[in-house]
Structure 1
Amino acid sequence: MAASFFARVPSIPYPPEQGGRWSPVTSTLDWCEENYVVTQYAAEIVNTLTNLLFMYLAAKGIRSCLKHGHDTVFLVAFIGYLLVGTGSFLFHATLKYPMQLVDELSMIYTTCLMNYATFSYGKSRLYSTLLAVGLISLAVFITGYYHYLQDPDFHQNAYAILTAIVLLRAMYVMEVNIRPKFRSKEREAADPRPHGDAAVKAREDQKDLKTLGLMWKMITFGLSIFLGGFLVWHLDNEHCSKLIKWRRAIGLPWGFALEGHGWWHLMTGTGAYFYIVWGIWLRHYLNYRQDEFELVWPNFWTVPDVVRKTTSTHVDSARGVKKEL
């Protein structure tokens, strides 16, 4: 049915794969998208242009951090996120080894930064310094060893492990600091909100539980998109020859929809953005500043943002819905 449908719609035949402005390929990876079939100035045009989403979301995140005064570590994280997108843009446009390193190693460095933000919170200066030295040493080791091995599996495994560690740690921190039944006595005592009255405390606890529920929705949604990107990336690698055959059968521009690595960029870029925004929101809760900020996330088809509250508007943090006062 799909084949007969595409046979009836106008399309442009795929040109043959050829050399281009940045030939020859020097990277250790050459993805499933055929090289220089659209323009001689970009080896993999879909894989190149889908990184524009990274750049847009990074700019949005940087602007939010500067405008609303989020912790500096998240501003740096968004700058790292921008570097990931820019490096990937240049890598897929040129398929040059130096650009491959910029793309892949910036992923490692940004994830190490998020590990520092997560594990250093609330710790002593000595602990934070030792953690920073340890993570910098780890990043240097991964850089040197990866350049020596030039094995993509090593990079992918290192990135996956670092991502899993920071995500699980952030989930743990969220639960033990926000869920009322898990909060320590020290955390309760440090809470500046009035909690001497049982009724007031019950209302605040209920509010925290609603917010926690929304946080888990963010995590589930963002993680599902991120892992879905990994699945599409895997299928693109495993069934590349079949996908090329299908793309050539249906022609341009419809064949672009079967560029799995491009979908990986869109999906993992969105999932990573959700994680950083969640981290910002969680940090404000950990700093007892949740009443100063609000999450704006009207629905699943929009990207969230954490903004400083104003006197003219109010957002129900449990639902992310803005209301005029």
Structure 2
Amino acid sequence: MAANMLSWLPSIPYPPSQDGRWSPVTATLNWCEEDYYATIYSAEIVNTLTNLLFMYLAVKGIHNCLTNGHDSIFLVTFIGYLLVGSGSFLFHATLKYPMQLVDELSMIYTTCLMFYATFSYGKSRRYSTTLAISLISLALFITLYYHYLQDPTFHQNAYAILTAIVLLRSLWIMEVNIRPKFRSKEREAANPRPNGGVKVMQDREDRRDKEILRQMWWMIAFGLSIFLSGFAIWNLDNAFCPTLRRWRRQTGLPWGILLEGHGWWHLMTGVGAYFYIVWGIWLRHCLNYEQDDYELIWPHVTTMPVVVKKRKPYANGYTNGSAKKDM
């Protein structure tokens, strides 16, 4: 049915699959996209090229961290995010087992970095060191056990459990430490206001933090919806692969590309993961009482959010980073 709806569009037939530059396939996974039908240099051309979004967003995040002074753990996390996209690019281009390990295990390592960023904040050096050693040991165990099992389900479950723990912990930290009615007495004591707490200042800060929470929850809802939608499409791609392959060939190129579910998974999870890291950066600045020094820039849902330093006005009325116009 889907193919017939697009039959009136101009298209070219799908070329037959062929032996490729990286043949034979040694990976334990092979996705629904047909192998080497477009070029001998990429086993799955759509699944390969959709990882370019990962790389672009990773470079964008790294640049933002370097230019705005975000905590170094987030710079390392974006480097890990770049490794995920690069590993996935190489995996889908070659369908070689070593590249599969780079792709899948880098997802675990990047999530472990976010785990450390979430659970080590505000803790003692001893606690943070113990946590770091524990996470390194966990990552090593997952690596060795996954290589022994070669069962993708193990990797997927490990990734899902780690991600869920980090997300739930981050939500709890956000609500308890930022929402005015939940804000702990310890944090109030750590950030005393002048004159014992001027009510006008308290009200201003409460309104500011409520607005920040509204932005954060909207970011979480949007990013998580994109991520889960990508996961759902990926599962449909796995469940109905023979039908989708038939529809693609009936539709022809380039329109059949729109039915590559794993490619949509790359695009959507790449966006969702980027939103999550940016949310983590914004949350960290809020926990450091830097809400008045940084701001979230996200004008609408079609743009990628960034956290930047606020421009502070100079005495002459110009802002930091602005230049006077020629007279």
TM-score normalised according to structure 2 size: 0.94
Instruction: Tell me the distance in 1 between the aligned counterparts of 2:114 and 2:3.
Output: 45
Would you say 1:84 and 2:84 are equivalent positions?
Answer: yes
Map 1:152-231; keep pairs closer than 5 Å.
152-194=152-194, 196-231=197-232
Determine what percentage of the aligned residue pairs are the same residue: 73
Distance 1:240 1:212 in 2: 41
Name the count of aligned residue pairs: 313
Partner of 2:254: 253
Please give the alpha-carbon distance, in whole angstroms, between the structure 2 residues aligned to 1:292 and 1:153: 44
Q: Which amino acid aligns with 1:26?
A: T
- Asked if the contact 1:192–1:288 (Cα under 8 Å) also holds between the matched residues in 2, the reply is no
The amino acid of 1:268's aligned partner reads T
Any unmatched runs of 5+ in structure 1?
A: 314-325
Alignment of 1:271-286 (within 5 A): 271-286=272-287
Separation in structure 2 between the aligned mates of residue 111 and residue 311 of structure 1, nearest angstrom: 35
The CA deviation at 1:6 is 2.2
Q: Where does 1:241-320 land on structure 2 (aligned, <5 Å)?
A: 241-311=242-312
- Contact in 1 for aligned 2:3/2:247 (Cα 8 Å): no
Q: Distance in 2 between matches of 1:193 and 1:237?
A: 56
Q: Is the 8 A contact 1:84 1:107 kept in 2?
A: yes
Find the aligned partners of 2:6 and 2:199 in 1 and give their Cα distance: 65
SS at match of 1:7: coil
SS in 2 for 1:14: coil
Q: 1:193 to 1:95 in 2, by over 3 A?
A: farther
Q: Provide closer, same or farther for how the CA distance between residues 61 and 192 of structure 1 changes in structure 2, counting only shifts above 3 A.
A: farther
The equivalent of 1:134 in structure 2 is: 134
Higher mean C-alpha displacement, 1-10 vs 277-286: 1-10
Cα offset, 1:311, TM superposition = 2.6
3-state DSSP class of the match of 1:266? helix
What CA RMSD, in Å, does the superposition of the two structures yield over aligned residues? 1.3
Deviation at 1:58, TM superposition (A): 0.2
CA separation in 1, counterparts of 2:118 and 2:9? Answer: 51
| TM-score (normalizing by structure 1) | 0.94
1:199, distance to aligned residue in structure 2 (A) = 2.5
| Structure 2 residue 48 is matched with structure 1 residue 48 | yes
Contact persistence 1:112–1:162 (CA under 8 A):
yes
Could you tell which deviates more after superposition, 143-152 or 304-313?
304-313
- 2:13–2:252 CA contact under 8 A, matched in 1: yes
Q: Which runs of 5+ in 2 are unaligned?
A: 315-327
Matched residue, 2:35: 35
Report how far residue 179 of structure 1 moved: 0.6
Tell me how far apart the structure 2 counterparts of residues 33 and 282 of structure 1 sit (CA, whole Å). 39
Equivalent pair of 2:3/2:248 in contact (CA under 8 Å): no
Which stretch shows the higher mean deviation, 142-151 or 182-191? 182-191
Residue identity matched to 2:164? A
Counterparts of 1:6 and 1:213, CA distance in 2: 41
Over 3 Å counting, the alpha-carbon distance change for 1:206 and 1:148 in structure 2 is same
Distance between the aligned counterparts of 2:103 and 2:2, measured in 1?
36
Deviation at 1:192, TM superposition (A): 4.9
Q: What is the deviation of 1:8? A: 1.8
Whole-Å separation in 2 of the counterparts to 1:171 and 1:32: 35
For residues 207 and 155 of structure 1, what CA distance do their matches in structure 2 show?
Answer: 41
